[in-house]
């Protein structure tokens, strides 16, 4: 076994945390954030929405079920770094093929254990998410703090271009029975998914609802999107500041009223901007599998899986055009909206919820219903 090396996390405000490496050795800069999920570290590692971020897991023991070939949200990890309290030296799961440590090393992802993850989380909650540097090669504390201060900010930065697909492709499923269609509808609808960093389980969910899915790059123009003659358009999740992706906002603005639209996470934020609203950065974001969201029409409270650092300002939206449908019960931020004239809905959380609660998977069925109604209009 490779000997573990000392690692330092330096925050731009001067805070330093010490640990030891169990992943790839090197140095990475990013925004340090925390995730409160107890399971699902493989999905977190491969979620493109984490591009540009160093993720701290609040649950102390990570790695106990290893890594498998099924529970991925993209083809390889997207996080800049991964910090945990304790790495499980032994993994046990019938699907597990290798350890978390081996997976991080093979994919050149820095992994650090032994840090006081509770102290990091409490600090972020107090002062907010911030720029940081994680390093095993440079252990000079003052120099690392300066590197953190001068590292690129996520504000206004286009991270979508780093995770979107380069060419259009059709999403096809394998023969794995766990992905068999369980929500078969009488019609089969064509969906174009605009890839801002799409999670694979969103594509699996659309397939599960009997949709033919074509995935297009984030930079696709409205003419290209409509040339596929879709019944509906999916605006995917993705990383970073929505205002850093002006080309996507303009394309969405031109698509409004032409086809049913369903926005998820970053797609929700981009849609809010396209509708004339504003977005703002949350202090430390929502990242975890237990965020309570209230439906304003029914009063029902759902537990949701979330991963975002920006939010749509509900006061910036035109109330004669946009209906606010859901709010976060922790901080009252906007979690869902619906257009009053066009078949357009969006949510800030992840209804595909892999891993996580299944309370909101019915939203894909509502998207299918919108496409059915629009095709019959």
Provide the annotated active-site residues: 265, 350, 352
Please give, one letter per residue, the 3-state secondary structure of the chain: CCCCCEEEEEECCCCEEEEEECCCCCEEEEEEEEECCCCCHHHHHHCHHHCCEEEEECCCEECCCCECCCCCCCCCCCCCEEECCEECCCCCCCCCCECHHHHHHHCCCEEEECCCHHHHHHHHHHHCCEEEEEECCCCCHHHHHHHHHHCCCCCCCCCHHHCCCCCCEEECCCCCHHHCCCCCCCCCEEEEEEECCCCHHHHHHHHHCCEEEEEEECCCCHHHHHHCCCCEEEECCCCCCHHHCHHHHHHHHHHCCCCCEEEECHHHHHHHHHCCCCEEEEEEEEEEEEEEEEECCCCCEEEEEEEEEEEECHHHCCCCCEEEEEEECCCCCEEEEEECCCCEEEECCCCCCCCCCCCCCHHHHHHHHHHHHHHHC
User: Which residues, 6+ apart, have CB-to-CB distance to 189 below 8 Å?
Assistant: 210, 211, 212, 231, 232, 368, 371, 372, 375
156, exposed or middle or buried, with CB in 10 Å at 0-12, 13-18, 19+? exposed
Q: Are 212 and 185 in contact (CB under 8 A)?
A: no
Q: Are 56 and 161 in contact (CB under 8 A)?
A: no
Q: Are 188 and 211 in contact (CB under 8 A)?
A: yes
């Amino acid at each position: 076994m490779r000997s573990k090396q000392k690692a330092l996390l330096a925050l731009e405000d001067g805070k330093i945390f010490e640990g030891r490496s169990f992943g790839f050795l090197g140095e990475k800069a990013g925004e340090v954030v925390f995730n409160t999920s107890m399971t699902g570290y493989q999905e977190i590692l491969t979620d493109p929405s984490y591009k540009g971020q160093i993720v701290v897991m609040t649950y102390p023991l990570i790695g106990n079920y290893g890594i498998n070939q099924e529970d991925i949200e993209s083809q390889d990890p997207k996080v800049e770094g991964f910090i945990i309290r304790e790495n499980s030296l032994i993994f046990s799961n019938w699907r597990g093929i290798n350890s978390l440590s081996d997976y991080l090393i093979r994919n050149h992802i820095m992994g650090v254990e032994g840090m006081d993850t509770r102290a990091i989380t409490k600090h972020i909650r107090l002062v907010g998410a911030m720029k940081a540097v994680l390093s095993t090669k440079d252990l000079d504390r003052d120099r690392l703090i300066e590197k953190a201060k001068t590292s690129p900010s996520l504000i206004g930065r286009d991270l979508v271009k780093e995770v979107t697909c380069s060419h259009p492709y059709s999403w096809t499923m394998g023969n794995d029975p766990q992905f068999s269609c369980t929500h078969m509808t009488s019609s089969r609808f064509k969906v174009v998914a605009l890839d801002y960093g799409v999670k694979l389980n969103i594509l699996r969910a659309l397939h599960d609802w009997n949709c033919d899915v074509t995935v297009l790059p984030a930079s696709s123009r409205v003419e290209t999107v409509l040339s596929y003659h879709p019944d509906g358009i999916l605006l995917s999740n993705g990383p970073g500041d929505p205002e850093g992706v002006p080309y996507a906002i303009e394309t969405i603005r031109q698509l409004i009223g032409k086809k049913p639209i369903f926005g998820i996470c970053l797609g929700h934020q981009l849609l809010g901007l396209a509708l004339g609203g504003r977005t703002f950065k949350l202090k430390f974001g929502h990242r975890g599998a237990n965020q309570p969201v209230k439906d304003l029409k029914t009063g029902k409270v759902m537990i949701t899986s979330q991963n975002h650092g920006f939010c749509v300002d509900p006061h910036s939206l035109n109330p004669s055009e946009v209906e606010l449908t859901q709010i976060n019960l922790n901080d009252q931020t906007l979690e869902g909206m619906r257009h009053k004239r066009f078949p357009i809905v969006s949510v800030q959380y992840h209804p595909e919820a892999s891993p996580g609660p299944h309370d909101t998977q019915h939203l894909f069925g509502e998207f299918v219903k919108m496409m059915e109604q629009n095709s019959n209009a």
